[in-house]
Amino acid sequence: MYQIPICPFSQRVLIMLALKELAGAIDFQTVDITKPRPDWLLEKTGGSTAMPILELEGGEVIKESLVILRYVEERYAARPIARADPYERAVENMLIAASEPLIMAGYTFLLNQERARRATLEQALLRHYAALSEFLTRYGSRGPYLFDRFGYAELVYAPFFQRFYFLEYYEGFTVPAEPRFARARAWIEACVAHPRAQQVSREEVVKLYYDYAKGAGNGALLPGRQRSSFAFSPGWRARPWPPRDKYGVSASDEQLGLL
Ligand code: GAZ
């Protein structure tokens, strides 16, 4: 599997392998998002640049994290992660189908640079959390997981709930402790805390996603900067915590510890 380090879509696959106790089954190759893709990689993908991609023994290439997950689930069927019961699997799939708009709302909020739009984007995200809470209350167990364990839906969402640490840091946003969000809050807490989902830390997310908070996604360079906050070196541990005030401050490479 070719992947970008800290990419939440790749983390889904890492969590699935950890749950299946198959960590060695896939060879992971890291691609630097801050550099152009090499030709040999573009040949494999047919020109597309998004990662992760999974290359099989015969050279066949599979794209899209949800498709790769289903492939791994079916190929290594001895320890299934998806529900066995068709109705329960449908419930799981409804929850997964709702993940994209929620993820989009969170990233739109982070990427926004206009203070005047902040409240609108926060409200939009909160509507997704309220809907998530309602869904879990209506279809799920009493908690914390959708069913009785950390399963397929949890591994699809967990990497993004961990990325959303960036909203807490750069937007001061957390899901409010109100009854209409209670079931979602319990679920989110269980998702991010699971021992097989600990591939990233809060500190790493906050430091690497600084450029997203300033409006530049996917390793793009911001004006006046030589290095992306996604750069491999210097490593994130050695860098200082970035300024929280994304609307008022634009930190330099030096201030971010990137030189
Ligand atoms: N749908 C694909 C999947 O595998 O599920 C998405 C994969 C993907 O976007 N990969 C990104 C990539 O390789 C890195 S992670 N980008 C480099 C390139 O050249 O395309 C991106 C978003 C987003 C939320 C998160 C991310 C992200 O929108 O984390 O939009 C592009 C990218 C809400």
Within-domain flag for 157 = yes
Amino acid found at 180: R
Give the residue-averaged pLDDT of 198-212. Answer: 98
Within-domain flag for 211 = no
Position 35 confidence tier, pLDDT thresholds 50, 70, 90: confident
* Residue 223: C-alpha distances to residues 48, 166, 216, 249, 252 (Å): 26, 21, 10, 13, 10
pLDDT number for residue 119: 98
Domain boundary among 75, 104, 124: 75
Indicate which CATH number applies to the domain containing 138.
Answer: 1.20.1050.10
Is the CB–ligand 1 distance for residue 94 below 6 Å?
no
Domain count, the chain: 2
Is the CB–ligand 1 distance for residue 67 below 6 Å?
no
pLDDT number for residue 20: 98
Position 53 confidence tier, pLDDT thresholds 50, 70, 90: very high
Within-domain flag for 206 = no
Residue 126 and residue 69 share a domain: no
Domain boundary among 197, 224, 246: 197
- Of all atoms in ligand 1, which is nearest to the CA of residue 66? 5
Q: Which residues contact 180 (CB under 8 A, 6 or more apart)?
A: 130, 133, 134
What are the residues facing 63 on neighbouring strands? 53
Residue 131 class from Cβ within 10 Å (0-12 exposed, 13-18 middle, 19+ buried)? middle
Query: Residue 17: is its pLDDT beyond 90?
Result: yes
Is the CB–ligand 1 distance for residue 10 below 6 Å?
no
pLDDT number for residue 81: 98
Position 179 confidence tier, pLDDT thresholds 50, 70, 90: very high
Residue 65 and residue 94 share a domain: no
Residue 187 and residue 92 share a domain: yes
pLDDT number for residue 32: 86
Which residue owns the Cα nearest ligand 1 atom 2? 64
202 vs 162: CA distance, rounded Å: 7
The 2-3 sheet, strands edge to edge = 29-30, 2-3, 53-55, 61-63
Residues spanned by the domain of 101: 86-197
Q: Which residues contact 168 (CB under 8 A, 6 or more apart)?
A: 174
Within-domain flag for 59 = yes
Stated pTM of the model: 0.96
Indicate which CATH number applies to the domain containing 19.
Answer: 3.40.30.10
Is the CB–ligand 1 distance for residue 55 below 6 Å?
no
pLDDT in tens, 136-168: 999 999 999 999 999 999 999 999 999 999 999
Token pair 């167990």: residue:
141
Token pair 């490479």: residue:
253
